[in-house]
Structure 1
Amino acid sequence: MSRLPGPGPLPPGVAEPYWTATTAPTVPGAGALTSDLTVDVAVVGGGATGLSTAWELIEAGRSVVVLEAGHLAAGSAGRATAQVTALHPLGYAGLARTRGEEAARLCARSMAEAVDRVGEIAAALRADCDLERLPAHAYATGTTRHENLRAEAEAARAAGLAASYTTGTGLPFTITGAVRVEDQAQLHPRRYLLALAHDILARGGRVHENTRVTGLKEGTPCRVTTEHGLVVTAADVVLATHHPVLDRGLLYTRLSTRRELAVAATLPVGDDPGGMYVTREDGGRSVRTAPYDEERRLLIVTGECSAPGDPDVARRFDRLVHWTTERFPRARILHHWTAQDHESADAVPFVGLRRPGAAHAYVATGFGGWGLSGAVMAGRLLTELVVGRTIPSWAGLYDPWRPGRAVRGAPAALRNQVAFGRRFLTDRLRAGRAASETDVPPGGGAVVRVDGRRCAVHRQEDGTVRAVSARCTHLGCLVAFNAVERTWECPCHGSRFAPDGAVLNGPATRPLEIREAPDADDR
């Protein structure tokens, strides 16, 4: 096999989300857990869902600990578009068709309440998070989708939202139609979530970064175990890890994972399109702006959805950059990054008991591209379930084990599992494999055989070779190399690993095993 091509030029701008680049990396008082602990509720995951849930539980008078494997709000939450909206493209018409008009009304109510809740909390905490109330739009530029959007506008309005159909927006290009929902929200997600973390700590809650959870024993009480053997004893446990870890309920079989690219650029204030915009065209696009300085706004554009392990990340970034600069010629790109989302088989999030028969272990996942509004909704719902107060009327909509789930989600779940089986059996023949480590270029990575074992081999720019096991520690699929981010990705369920094998994203909880790197003489 010939030498693999190098990773090529990186996208323009700093390879870091704007949200994390403009906030402190750590929170004072949130160091790693160093001793066993007993609390009312242990929340696993310090992202949008975990912090929202923990804050609501503190409000309800419970003692809480948040256990985060990395840094708070630096994973999916720190990579979000941060549109807090009840407008989900082509969602209400489909929901009314598959689950009835009442389900559509309940969904609209829960999401509208989440939008308002963000405003209430931000005001109460005086959070400096650039919160703005603006209209949200789902738009089309082609002739085939705008009629669907007209039906969606009618369905969203029937569900109770302030929705309308329009053919005019502030976008600098022609559209054929759009759904518009008034008074939605956008913000700096990490500043908002860190304000929650600071308030949790100030009110006696515990928050611990760099504390990876690897085990959960349900019972009365439950026991949570960390990778260093420490134990947190809690009456209730909430798993808020984006993709559910420790998944005894096998929710992963009903989740699909996608990667999405993002760029942030400065834009003259006069070029601001004045709202939030999303479309399913062009591989998916999301457009919005944020405060930057007196003369400029920050333009955030996302899209180019693909599965984890996609070998064309660089090419997809090229397309996203070209799309952005073609439509916004005065945009100057400052940052680029990627995000990861998980969607349920029937496109409705899972929020509730972790598995049938569980009594004190809860989960929240499957928010698709609407993680922040979904996280706030989930925080409220999980708190009511734990505390046992008035359960919201829309709780059953999100029940992971809701009646009819098997029928409604069966086609998508079957597709997910067929895809998993196909990848598991054939990924050993995928492109991106090298005959030996000598075929891996500087900055590149590939799966090769080393001493008869499949290894994930990465060659650093200085020529140093690093090797780890190529088998994902979740379910054993072979990982693939992302040459833009220099990470190993599992194409089956989205686990991501650093070149040294450290876990970056679950559902995997264990690192890739270190393999002996080939000798320098062999390179």
Structure 2
Amino acid sequence: MTALPEPLSLWVDTAPAPERAAVPLPPAADVVVLGAGIAGLTTALLLARAGRSVVVLEAARVAGGVSGHTTAKVSAQHGVKYAMLESRHGLEAAQTYAAAQLDALEWIAAEPGIDCAFTRADNFVHTTRAGTVDTLKEEADAAARAGLPASFVDDIELDVPALAAVRVTGQAHFHPRRWLLGLAAAFERTGGTILERTRALSLDLRGRLVHTSAGNIEAGDVVVATHYPVFDRGLYFARLDPVRDLVVAGPAAGNTAPAGMYLDADTHHSVRSSTSDGTTTVIAGGEHYRVGAETDIDRRYRRLAAWAGEHARLERVTHRWSAHDLSTVDGLPYVGRYLPGAEHLWVAIGFGQWGMTGGTAAGHVLAARVLGEAHPAAHLLDPQRFDLRSTLGLLEDNLTVGRHLIGDHLTALWQDRSADQLGPGQAAVVRAGAELLAAYRDADGELHTVGAHCSHLGCLVAFNDAEKTWDCPCHGSRFDVDGAVIQGPAVKPLRRRDRPPA
């Protein structure tokens, strides 16, 4: 493999977003939606079509966030999912979940006027390990009982020594950014309003007033569909596991690649392809890790690229990016009322790397609930649900947070390194007197220093050498080298320091 390019999503690179004219913030709307990703835009479009006045507030640009940085499989098969759902929640719950995902898939397929390269393909979850074969047999049976067109097979097209796989027919993939831009355009044609580069800062629940960087807006209902819930009232940060998967893409060797979509149940290597203008592109994902827990991300990218070259016909890497997502303790997203008793505040979060159908399904659930209508999946996805068996997972996640909160501080305090020792391209958390700083020296030799404590709850950040970001291992907040927030739950930047104190 040749040198890897700078990180850039294939989807962002191949679907430029239109420049939206700046519009004034309306004084009021029936519904204010925070976040212009797949869940937010789906909710907004459905409510606008139902006759509600809807305003979408996006802190950055439409389709520039998590939804534009996936592998974009539009599938109701979510890894090894349905045996777990049936065991923990019952057969009816597994069937309800499957029906919601399949309905989301077919809604995307039927939506007119959006050219997003929607392509049907079979989806496979496979294994190369003998010990996982029985697990996949159980999964195939459970997925079929749940209502998916699933079967157990012992052969796949991907060039790996697969021993078995669960095959689900009639799934799909698409260009996620074109889909999102199409949703945004359809929403605006329906009378909706989108304000980009407008950040929600706080919320007055009693007055249903959203305080934003552009002023205040009164809302009948507020839908929080940001990547991370921007308000900590629900303590969602303690119930979500922040993870990242890396993705590499480029032309297929010989311009041919497997037609299906593939996921290794054990290693989580993911493969799909797409064809445009006669050129076939391989898209491979993997190298799953907890945000902030790894620092040598470039090495992980190289390892993924080598695997894709050997097993998925990837000729060379033209694009690479990372997918950031959140998983819940019981494997089901949180979609519904943000807080107990909060009649007009709603949330959608925790899709566990399956946001294309998951986010679309969430939009349908939230739209129905805002309109006062029933939805079959509403109770199953209720954020206030309680599952005693999930308590252990919740405790384990928060023990991990505690280890980082204490252990990372002790490690940093014992290190004897100064910012002056950093060469171009190097970064470290350094001591400066009694203070810990996150220091990075760029390729031109300029030193960037910010406070090393995450502005969310004070954990120490760690440097991501591939994307040149400071990432928090506790709850997944991410910042650029000058401290600006890239992803929450943090809403405030790291404190800027022009130079370390002597």
Give yes or no for TM over 0.5: yes
Give the Cα–Cα distance (whole angstroms) in 2 for the partners of residues 394 and 53 of structure 1.
15
Give the Cα–Cα distance (whole angstroms) in 1 for the partners of residues 70 and 416 of structure 2.
34
Tell me the equivalent position of 2:442. 460
Give the Cα–Cα distance (whole angstroms) in 2 for the partners of residues 304 and 436 of structure 1.
31
| Partner SS state of residue 168, structure 1 | coil
| 1:472–1:478 CA contact under 8 A, matched in 2 | yes
* Residue number among 272, 280, 297 corresponding to 2:257 in the alignment: 272
| 1:86–1:108 CA contact under 8 A, matched in 2 | yes
Tell me the equivalent position of 2:5. 13
| Partner SS state of residue 380, structure 2 | helix
| 1:503–1:509 CA contact under 8 A, matched in 2 | yes
Tell me the equivalent position of 1:437. 419
One-letter code of the match for 2:403?
Answer: R
Q: Say whether 1:145 aligns with 2:158.
A: no
Deviation at 1:465, TM superposition (A): 0.7
* Residue number among 104, 113, 120 corresponding to 2:94 in the alignment: 104
TM-score (norm 2): 0.96
Tell me the equivalent position of 1:358. 342
Deviation at 1:222, TM superposition (A): 1.0
Alignment of 1:65-214 (within 5 A): 65-121=55-111, 124=112, 126-214=113-201
Structure 1 spans left out of the alignment, 5+ residues: 1-8
Q: Give the CA RMSD over aligned residues.
A: 1.8
Tell me the equivalent position of 1:485. 467
* Residue number among 481, 499, 502 corresponding to 1:499 in the alignment: 481
| 2:245–2:322 CA contact under 8 A, matched in 1 | yes
Give the Cα–Cα distance (whole angstroms) in 1 for the partners of residues 474 and 500 of structure 2.
28
| Partner SS state of residue 138, structure 1 | strand
* Residue number among 222, 225, 244 corresponding to 1:240 in the alignment: 225
Give the Cα–Cα distance (whole angstroms) in 1 for the partners of residues 65 and 223 of structure 2.
18
Deviation at 1:512, TM superposition (A): 1.0
Deviation at 1:337, TM superposition (A): 0.9
Give deviations 1:306-343, integer Å, cap 9, x for gaps.
Answer: 11121121221121011011114552211011111100
Give the Cα–Cα distance (whole angstroms) in 2 for the partners of residues 273 and 339 of structure 1.
22
Deviation at 1:408, TM superposition (A): 2.8
Give the Cα–Cα distance (whole angstroms) in 2 for the partners of residues 462 and 331 of structure 1.
32
Deviates more, 1:457-466 or 1:10-19: 10-19
| Partner SS state of residue 318, structure 2 | strand
| 1:254–1:412 CA contact under 8 A, matched in 2 | no
Give the Cα–Cα distance (whole angstroms) in 2 for the partners of residues 493 and 339 of structure 1.
16
| 1:213–1:509 CA contact under 8 A, matched in 2 | no
Give deviations 1:143-198, integer Å, cap 9, x for gaps.
Answer: 11121111100000011111011112221232111111111121000000000111
Give deviations 1:339-393, integer Å, cap 9, x for gaps.
Answer: 111000011110000011111000111100101111100000000000112x122
Give deviations 1:197-218, integer Å, cap 9, x for gaps.
Answer: 1111122111011111110111
Tell me the equivalent position of 1:333. 317
Give the Cα–Cα distance (whole angstroms) in 1 for the partners of residues 422 and 188 of structure 2.
47
One-letter code of the match for 2:441?
Answer: R
Give deviations 1:109-140, integer Å, cap 9, x for gaps.
Answer: 1111111011112xx2x111100011111111
Tell me the equivalent position of 1:301. 284
Structure 2 spans left out of the alignment, 5+ residues: none
Give the Cα–Cα distance (whole angstroms) in 1 for the partners of residues 3 and 233 of structure 2.
39
User: Percent identical across equivalent pairs?
Assistant: 39
Deviation at 1:15, TM superposition (A): 1.7
| 1:269–1:297 CA contact under 8 A, matched in 2 | no
Q: Say whether 1:40 aligns with 2:30.
A: yes
| Partner SS state of residue 23, structure 1 | coil
| 1:72–1:194 CA contact under 8 A, matched in 2 | yes
| 1:26–1:72 CA contact under 8 A, matched in 2 | no
Give the Cα–Cα distance (whole angstroms) in 2 for the partners of residues 459 and 168 of structure 1.
50
| 2:250–2:314 CA contact under 8 A, matched in 1 | no
Tell me the equivalent position of 1:320. 304
Deviation at 1:270, TM superposition (A): 5.8
| Partner SS state of residue 379, structure 2 | helix
One-letter code of the match for 1:339?
Answer: A
Deviates more, 1:176-185 or 1:263-272: 263-272
Give the Cα–Cα distance (whole angstroms) in 1 for the partners of residues 350 and 64 of structure 2.
19
Give deviations 1:244-274, integer Å, cap 9, x for gaps.
Answer: 1102011221111111110011115763211
Tell me the equivalent position of 1:257. 242
Deviation at 1:21, TM superposition (A): 0.5
TM-score (norm 1): 0.92
Give deviations 1:55-94, integer Å, cap 9, x for gaps.
Answer: 1111211111111111111111110111111101221111
Give the Cα–Cα distance (whole angstroms) in 1 for the partners of residues 255 and 262 of structure 2.
17
Deviation at 1:518, TM superposition (A): 4.0
| Partner SS state of residue 98, structure 1 | helix
Tell me the equivalent position of 1:227. 213
When residues 336 and 66 of structure 1 are mapped into structure 2, their CA distance, relative to the original with a 3 A threshold, is: same
Deviates more, 1:265-274 or 1:451-460: 265-274
| 1:258–1:341 CA contact under 8 A, matched in 2 | yes
Give the Cα–Cα distance (whole angstroms) in 1 for the partners of residues 285 and 301 of structure 2.
10
One-letter code of the match for 1:161?
Answer: L
| 2:369–2:375 CA contact under 8 A, matched in 1 | no
| Partner SS state of residue 108, structure 2 | helix
| 1:434–1:440 CA contact under 8 A, matched in 2 | no
| 1:11–1:314 CA contact under 8 A, matched in 2 | no
| 2:412–2:431 CA contact under 8 A, matched in 1 | no
One-letter code of the match for 1:471?
Answer: H
